[in-house]
Structure 1
Amino acid sequence: MTRPEDVRYPFGQTLVYGTQHILTMYGGVIAPQLIVGGAAGLSATDMALLVTAGLFISGLATLLQTLGIGPVGSRLPIVQGISFVSVSTMVTIASNGGLRPVFGAIMVAGAIGLLLSGFFAKLVRLFPAVVTGSIITVIGLSLLPTAFKWAMGNDAKAADFGSMGNIGFAGLTLVIILVISRLFQGAISRLSILIGLVIGTIIAVFTHRADFSAVGDAKIMALPPILHFGGPIFEVGAIVSMTIVMVVIMVETTADVLAISEIVGTEADSKRVAAGLRADMLSSAVAPLFSSFPCSAFAQNVGLVALTGIKSRFVVATGGLVLLVLGLFPIVGAVVAGIPYPVLGGAGIVLFGSVAASGIRTLARVDFTDNLNMVIVAVAIGVGLIPIAAPTFWDKFPTWLGVIMHSGISATAIVAIMLNLLFNEIKRGNKPGASVFAAAEDRKDDLGDRLDDDIRG
C-alpha cells in the first residue's frame, strides 16, 4: 500500500501544487536576508546576492529533506527555508563584526547539530499528543501576527501601513480563497491559495498597487558564488550563541516533522525525526559556503498541506526545485517578489490559521479525564504566547535564556515536555481528579446529568 507521502500526481498538477507551496512562503524565505544584510550594512547588490543565495540553499535543502539521501532527509512533504529563529542572534553578530563571524558560527553550530541529531531524535517519545497539540497550536498562533503585518503592508514606516486599501486587498484575497474553496471541488479547490494570490496580484496591478519595476533591473541568471564575502571567522562567543539557536531550531523542526506526519497520517519514529534533523543541520552547515543562513522546516507550509490535502513529498520536492530555479534566475524571483504583501497577508490568515486548527484537532484526541493534561496545555500555550503578547518580557533575562524563550514555539515545547514528564511520566503520587479543571469538568458533568433527569422527569 502506497504511503500518503509517496503518492504521485501528473507532472502538470505536481508543478502547480509545488509552486503554490513556494508562493506561500516566498516572502518569509527572503525576509531574514534583508534584515541581517541591513544590519551588516550591505550594498543593494550584496543584499540581492543574499536573497538569491537564500532561495538557492532553501531549494537544495527542500530537495534533501523530501527526497532524502541515505540517513539524511525525513522524506516528508516539508519545505525548508531560512530560519527566523536565528535572525536576532545573527543581527547581533553582524552588527559588531559583519557577516564573516556569522558564517563561521553557523558552520560550527550546524556541525554540532548534525552530530547531535541521532541522540536528539530519541527524545521523540517526549512528544505525545498533549505536547504536539500544544506546539502545533502555538505555531499557528505565532505565525498569525506575520499575516496581519503583511495585510497592513509589512513596512511599518510606510505612509500607507495599515491603510484601508492594504487591509482591503488582504480581505479581498481572503474572500477569493473562501469563495473558491466553497464553490469548487477537487483540484480547483486545492489551488485556492494560488488562485487567490494570482487574482489578488492582477487586481493590484490594475489598481497600481503592485510594483514590478525591480524585474527590469534583475540579472537573467546568476549562480551564487562560493564565499563571496570572504572566508568564515570563528569567534567563540558567536559560536556559543549560534549553537543555542541551533538547538532551538532542532526543537522546532522536531515539532514540524511530528506535525506534518500527523496531518499526512504517517508514522514519524525517532529514526525519521533524526533523518529530518540531519537534513536541517547539514543544510545549515553548508549554507555559509553560498553566503546563506541556517535552514529550518517552514511551519506555514504545514498549514498548506492541512488545507489542501496534498500530502505528496514529490509535490514539495518539485516546489524545492522551483525554489532552486528562482535562486538561479533572479529575474524570475523578482517577478514573484512583486506580489504585494497585503495579498500575501490575506492568504496567510488562512494558512496560519489552519496550522492552529490542526493543533486543536490533535488536542481533541487527548484524554483530559482525571489527569493534569488540561494544566499542561494551559500553561504551555500561555508561556508560548508571551513573545506575541509581551515581546519585551524576556529582555531582562540572561541572553541564552532570552534566545530560547523569545521563540514561542520552542518555549511551548520546553514547558509542555517538562510538565508532561512531571505530571504524566512520573506516576508516583498521581491521584484521580487532582486538577481543579478536572473537578470543574466533573461538576459540569453532574449538572448536565441533573438537567437530563429534570428533562426526562
Structure 2
Amino acid sequence: MKNPSVAASSHQRPEDENLGIGANLAYGLQHVLTMYGGIVAVPLILGQAAGLSPAEIGLLIAASLFAGGLATLLQTLGLPFFGCQLPLVQGVSFAGVATMIAILGTQGGGGLPAVLGAVMAASLIGLLITPVFSRITKFFPPMVTGVVITTIGLTLMPVAARWAMGGNSNAPDFGSMANIGLAAVTLVIVLVLSKLGSATISRLSILLAMVIGTLIAVSLGMADFSKVSEGPMVALPSIFHFGMPTFHVAAIISMCIVIMVTLVETSADILAVGEIIETKVDSKRLGNGLRADMLSSVLAPIFGSFTQSAFAQNVGLVAVTGVKSRYVVATGGLILVTLGLLPVMGRIVAAVPTSVLGGAGIVLFGTVAASGIRTLAKVDYRNNMNLIIVATSIGFGMLPIAAPSFYHAFPSWFATIFHSGISSAAIMAIGLNLLFNHFKTGNSDQQSVFAAATERTLRYQDIAALNEGDYFQDGKLFDAEGNEVPVLGDDDHGHAAPSAKPARNAASEASTHPSSA
C-alpha cells in the first residue's frame, strides 16, 4: 500500500511536474531556440580570436552544445550533491570572454590549451569554495533578489536590440528596416498568440512565433538554409581535440575572478528561478546547483568547451510561459546533446534569422525585469534605507549597460567583475543590505528624506472621499468653492478621520500654498 504522505510530497514542488513527452519536446525546443544564439556566440568569438579554421570553429560550437546539454541534465535531474533540480538551462558563460581573449593574446600565453587549462583549474577552485556561497541565502531577501532579477532583464535588453538589428554589426544590413521590421512582426505574433490562443498555444507562443517569423523570412529571402546540407551529418565529440590543457599561474588567477563572477550570477539565477516558480531554495539546494555549475566547468574543457553557467534568458522564458517543469528543461538538455552530435541539426537551428530571435527576446527579457519588479513590490520601504539600497544597486548595475567603456581605465581584475551589470548589482545590493540592515551600528535615527517620506501614508478610503479642488487650510478642509467640508471625528457616526499628524502637515503646507487634492 502506498504511503499517502509520500504520494502527496511528490506533487508539492511545482518543478517536479512531468508534462509528457510531446509537451516536453515542444517546450524544450523552445528553450533551445531561446539560448542557441548565446551558446554558439562564445565559441565563435574565441575560435576567431584563436585563429582557428571554420571547420575547427564548428567543432568548438559542437563541443559547447554537447557540454551545455550535459550540464543542463546534471543541473535539472541532479545527482547526490550536484544539481539544484530547477528548470535552469546551462551553457557557455559570457563572463569569461574578455579574460579568455586576453589569455589568447598574451605573448607566449599558451593559446587555446592555456585557456582550457585555466578554465579547468579555476573551476576546480570554485568547486572547493561552493560551501561558502551556499550559505549566503539569508543575505538574499526579496530586496536583493528583486534587484538582481530586474537587472538581469534590463542588462539583456541590449542583446535583444542587437538581435533585432541583425546580430552581426559588420553586416551591411545591420540595423536595416527589414531586420527590425521582421523582429517587430515576430513580437506582434507573440502578443497575438498570447492574447487569442488557447492555454497551450499561449505557452508555445514564443516557439510558434519563431517558426512563423522564420517562414516569413524565407518568403522574403531573409533566411538562408542553403548551407544546412554542408558538413557531416554526425560528429562525435573529440577528447582534447585542441591539445592537452596547459596550466599557467597568471591565466588561472585571472580565470578565478571569472569563476567568482560566475558563482554570483549562477546564485542569482537559481534564486531568481526559485522565486519565479515559487519553490523553496535553501542553502543546500543552492550549494548543489553551484557544485553542478563548477563540475560542468571542470569537465567542459575535455570536450573543448569553456565555463558553464545558467542562462538568464531562459529564466525569462520560464516566467513568460509559466512552464515550471524541470523535465521540460532536461528535454532541452537532451536536444542540446543531440545538436552536439548532429551538426546538421545545429545548422538548421543556426539558420533561424537573428531578427526573429530579437523580436521574441524583447518579450523574454522584459518579462525577467517585470518579475524582478514584482519581487521588489514585496519589500517594506517604510522607515528604512531599502529604497536607497534598491535605487543605488539598480543604478550601479546599469552603468556597464549605459556606458560599456565605464571601467576600461580600471585594473583588469576590477573591470572583469564589475563589467557585468548583474554581478555589479548583486554585489552592491548584498553589500548595502549588510551595511544598513545587518550591521546597524552607526545608523542614523533620522533616516534620509527618501526613507522618511515613506512613513507618511493615507488610506484609500480617505482619498476616495475627496473631490477635485478640495484643500486643507488652517486645519480645516474646504471644497473648490471655499466652503468648509465637515471632518468627522472618531465618535461621529463610527467613522475615523485621517490621522492628526498628516492633517496638520497638510494644513501647514496648504496654508502657505493651497493646492488641489
Query: Is TM > 0.5 for Structure 1 vs Structure 2?
Result: yes
Letter in structure 1 aligned against 2:86: L
Counterpart amino acid of 1:206? S
Give the letter for the 1:280 counterpart.
D
Q: CA RMSD in A?
A: 1.7
Aligned counterpart, 1:296: 309
Give the match for residue 71 of structure 2: 61
**In the alignment, is the contact (CA less than 8 A) between 1:369 and 1:438 conserved in 2?**
yes
Question: Is the 8 Å Cα contact of residues 387 and 393 (structure 1) preserved in structure 2?
Answer: yes
C-alpha separation in 2, matches of 1:319 and 1:432: 53
Provide TM-score, normalisation by structure 2. Answer: 0.86
Query: Which residue number corresponds to residue 114 of structure 2?
Result: 101
Match of 2:26 among 16, 24, 46: 16
Aligned mates of 2:445, 2:141 — CA distance in 1: 20
Matched-pair contact (CA < 8 Å) for 2:71–2:296 = yes
For the residue of structure 1 that corresponds to 2:224, the secondary structure is coil
Deviations 1:387-412 (A, max 9, x none): 11011111111111110000000011
Residue of structure 1 equivalent to 2:264 = 251
**Of 36, 40, 59, the match for 1:26:** 36
Q: List, as ranges, runs of 4+ consecutive aligned residues in structure 1 with deviation greater than 6 Å.
A: 446-451
**Deviation per CA, 1:368-427, whole angstroms, max 9, x where unpaired?**
010000000000001100111011111111111110000000011110001000110123
Offset of 1:222 from its aligned partner?
A: 0.3
Equivalence for 1:83: 93
| TM norm structure 1 | 0.97
Say whether 1:111 aligns with 2:121: no
Whether the 8 Å contact between 1:218 and 1:334 is mirrored in structure 2 is no
Give 2:215's match in structure 1, choosing from 202, 212, 225. 202
Asked if 1:49 corresponds to 2:59, the answer is: yes
List alignment gaps of at least 5 residues for structure 1.
Answer: none
Q: Which amino acid aligns with 1:194?
A: L
Counterpart position of 2:274: 261
Q: 1:331 aligns with which of 344, 358, 372?
A: 344
The one-letter code of the counterpart of 2:105 is S
The answer to whether the aligner puts 1:362 opposite 2:375 as a matched pair is: yes
Any conservation in 1 of the 2:123–2:256 contact (CA below 8 Å)? yes
1:347 and 1:146 mapped to 2: Cα distance? 11
Give the SS at the match of 2:229.
Answer: helix
How much has 1:430 moved relative to structure 2? Answer: 3.9
Q: Percent identity over the alignment? A: 58
Please say if residues 84 and 286 of structure 2, whose CA atoms lie closer than 8 Å, have aligned partners that are also in contact: yes
Q: In structure 1, what is the Cα distance between the partners aligned to 2:271 and 2:445? A: 30
Letter in 1 for 2:324: K
Q: Which residue of 2 aligns with 1:310?
A: 323
Measure the CA separation in 2 of the matches of 1:214 and 1:130.
48
Q: Following the alignment from structure 1 to structure 2, what is the Cα–Cα distance between the partners of residues 202 and 154? A: 19
- Equivalent residue for 1:340? 353
SS in 2 for 1:396: coil
**Structure 2: how far apart are the matches of 1:100 and 1:332?**
28
> Which residue is equivalent to 1:124?
137
Per-residue deviation, 1:59: 0.2
Q: Tell me how far 1:344 sits from its aligned partner.
A: 0.3
Of 93-102 and 424-433, the range deviating more from structure 2: 424-433
1:38 partnered with 2:48:
yes
Structure 1 residues 451 and 433: CA distance shift in structure 2, 3 A: farther
The 3-state SS of whatever aligns with 1:85 is helix
CA deviation digits over 1:63-92, x for unaligned, max 9? 000000101000000000100111111111
The residue that corresponds to 2:512 in the other structure is none
Q: Greater relative contact order: 1 or 2 (C-alpha under 8 angstroms, separation 6 or more)? A: 1
The structure where helix makes up a greater share of residues is: 1
Distance in 2 between the 1:116 and 1:292 partners?
22
- Output the CA distance in 1 between the equivalents of 2:289 and 2:392: 28
Aligned mates of 2:60, 2:274 — CA distance in 1: 32
How far residue 213 of structure 1 moved from its aligned partner, in angstroms, is: 2.2
Contact 1:371/1:432 (CA < 8 Å) preserved in 2? no
Per-residue Cα deviation, 1:228-261 (whole angstroms, up to 9, x for no partner) = 0111111111000001100100000000000000
Of the candidates 407, 411, 420, which is equivalent to residue 420 of structure 2? 407
CA contact (8 A) 2:265 2:422 kept: yes
Q: Distance in 2 between matches of 1:225 and 1:200?
A: 35
* Long gaps (5+) in structure 2: 1-7, 471-478, 480-484, 487-517
| Cα distance in 1 between the residues matched to 2:231 and 2:274 | 39
Residue 75 of structure 2 contacts residue 86 of structure 2 at CA under 8 Å; is this kept in 1?
A: yes
**Greater alpha carbon shift after TM alignment, 59-68 vs 426-435:** 426-435
Query: Counterpart amino acid of 1:377?
Result: V
Look up the equivalent residue of 1:38 and give its one-letter code.
Q
Query: Alignment partner of 2:309: what SS?
Result: strand
Distance in 1, matches of 2:398 and 2:443, equals 28
Tell me if 1:212 matches 2:225. Answer: yes
Range moving further from structure 2, 388-397 or 209-218: 209-218
Aligned to 1:4: 14
Tell me the CA shift for residue 441 of structure 1. Answer: 3.3
**In structure 2, distance between residues paired with 1:248 and 1:114:** 14
Q: Secondary structure at the match of 2:228?
A: helix
Which of 439, 446, 451 is the equivalent residue of 1:438? 451
Residue aligning to 1:92: 102
What is the CA-CA distance between 1:448 and the residue it aligns to? 11
The CA distance in 1 between the partners of 2:218 and 2:351, in whole Å, is 10
**Which letter does structure 2 place at the counterpart of 1:46?**
E
- Structure ID, larger Rg: 2
2:164 is matched with 151
